[in-house]
Structure 1
């Protein structure tokens, strides 16, 4: 009896960068390009814009969110990072979203609050140089080797 091989149904993850600081976004995009990370990359300037993007992706995916890896700033206008995390964790279509916090805040309350909302990691953007490049390189590897829910 022959075993049927499972078809590769892996979908490449889209990066969603959520940050209101244009310099941070430009630095992250530049680092992704330098690292030859070619995943589709979207940008939102606050949590509300990010929610809109993700909910549109759910509609386009016939009720299922395609794989996303999110980088999230904490301090943003309109809807901050913690409010964004609360919104996605309360939404059945978005609750399993993979989120890494990239922020300038090293306040223990922010770190604790973010981890209590099931983030994958918390990185402080104290400089936009080597540490950022290392973090984005890690995310590129993560996107290539981890099976994300669809």
Structure 2
């Protein structure tokens, strides 16, 4: 039986979150899907569930938007770079940005990939096959 994964979606767009969550659920590859509407909410989630010494179950993958209020995706990446995590996080940027400067800037952090919105079943299953079959 395939392992099912815990995924954190970080995006401020309500409609996009509904679509992304539905796509992930339709693949049958996720056990749990969590949502954060900005980087600050995602940081708090990571503090509660993923830091060394915490009792949370952790997550397997973060799908991260770049353009959000309060704390954007780049600020989130900067903030968690200093955290002492139980396991390395697999972070994939999922954004509407096609600006090469954003892509180059994102790859300065330890991200596992860069996808354009919207997420599709094909994109997610391909991502799953590349990143998560451990």
Same fold at TM > 0.5: yes
Partner of 2:14: 22
Gaps of 5+ in 2: none
Partner of 2:99: 107
Gaps of 5+ in 1: 1-10
Residue 24 of structure 1: how far off its partner (Å)? 1.0
When the two structures are aligned, how many residues end up with a matched partner? 131
Is the CA contact (8 Å cut-off) linking 2:6 and 2:31 kept in structure 1?
A: yes
Larger Rg, first or second structure (1 or 2) = 1
Distance (Å, rounded) in 1 between the aligned partners of 2:110 and 2:87: 9
2:123 maps to which of 135, 142, 145:
135
Partner of 1:37: 29
Provide TM-score, normalisation by structure 1. Answer: 0.76
Residue 96 of structure 1: how far off its partner (Å)? 2.5
Partner of 2:73: 81
Distance (Å, rounded) in 1 between the aligned partners of 2:79 and 2:86: 9
Residue 144 of structure 1: how far off its partner (Å)? 5.1
CA-atom RMSD in angstroms: 2.4
Residue 95 of structure 1: how far off its partner (Å)? 8.2
Is the CA contact (8 Å cut-off) linking 2:5 and 2:30 kept in structure 1?
A: no
Closer, same or farther in 2 for the Cα pair 1:95/1:104, shift >3 Å? farther
Distance (Å, rounded) in 2 between the aligned partners of 1:142 and 1:109: 25
Is the CA contact (8 Å cut-off) linking 2:4 and 2:30 kept in structure 1?
A: no
- Residue 81 of structure 2: SS of its match in structure 1? helix
- Residue 79 of structure 2: SS of its match in structure 1? helix
